[in-house]
Structure 1
Amino acid sequence: MVEDSRQACQKVGGAITRVFELLGKRWTGLIVAVLMQQPVYFADLRRAIPGISERMLSDRLTELALAGLLVREVDEGPPLRVSYRLTEAGKALGPALHELGLWAESYLPEGSSPC
């Protein structure tokens, strides 16, 4: 019986693995969700996501930039300011994030978070 179920179970695909390796990290989805609205300065992005440290935000932004989902733009000062905006690839996540939000509204009521 166990052998039959092993044959029926398939390995997780590479594409979905890559998605969750990137977007499954803490804070990453929230960063993308904020940037869906408009380009945002670093300080404003940090204020929009309570609890994230500057270091963690910086690390996640670097990962998203390396993945081609956002662009870092330096506004010459003074003061020198850095803003972030989604690329076309980043913006293409919009429909998927919207659907996840709808799913959460239906199946993850407020207060049900395990954290």
Structure 2
Amino acid sequence: MSGECRGADDAIARVFSLLGKRWNGLILAVLLNQQPAHFAEMRRAIPGISERMLSERLAELTEADLVVREVVPGPPLGVRYRLTEAGLALRPALDALAQWAHEHPRHAARAHGRSRDTHC
């Protein structure tokens, strides 16, 4: 066994810098289950997220090319969000994380309890 310390892969570090942010995973999960979705629908589907935070996170996910913002011609004029091909490609990873949470509820509950103490 080597005493060499090896860091995390740069690619995984980039993934968690985006997906590890509070709310981003939930937003993607909602869009995987229901897309396209209007802002108000997502707000109702993610208890505890503020309108401002949802707007900021959607802008960030759009900038990362995981989500597309579409203007729906009216009347009334509307906006909806859907996943890009890259966003849809996250389904297997998010499904695997959901399966892990179901198989290890005690560990997932601890992490969830700690995240509730964090306020954005």
Matches within 5 A, 1:63-78: 63-78=60-75
1:12 matched to 2:12: no
- Unaligned stretches of 5+ in structure 1? none
* Divergent runs of 4+, >2 A: 108-115
Q: Percent identity?
A: 59
TM-score, with length taken from structure 2: 0.85
- Unaligned stretches of 5+ in structure 2? none
> What CA deviation, in whole Å up to 9, does each residue of 1:26-81 have, x standing for no partner?
00000000000221001111010011001100000011011110100011222221
Matches within 5 A, 1:42-81: 42-81=39-78
1:102 aligned residue: 99
Larger Rg, first or second structure (1 or 2): 1
Give aligned pairs, total: 110
The one-letter code matched in structure 2 to 1:99 is: A
Q: Secondary structure at the match of 1:12?
A: coil
1:31 aligned residue: 27
The one-letter code matched in structure 1 to 2:19 is: L
2: CA distance, partners of 1:57 / 1:44: 11
> What CA deviation, in whole Å up to 9, does each residue of 1:79-107 have, x standing for no partner?
22110000010000000000000101111
Q: Secondary structure at the match of 1:82?
A: strand
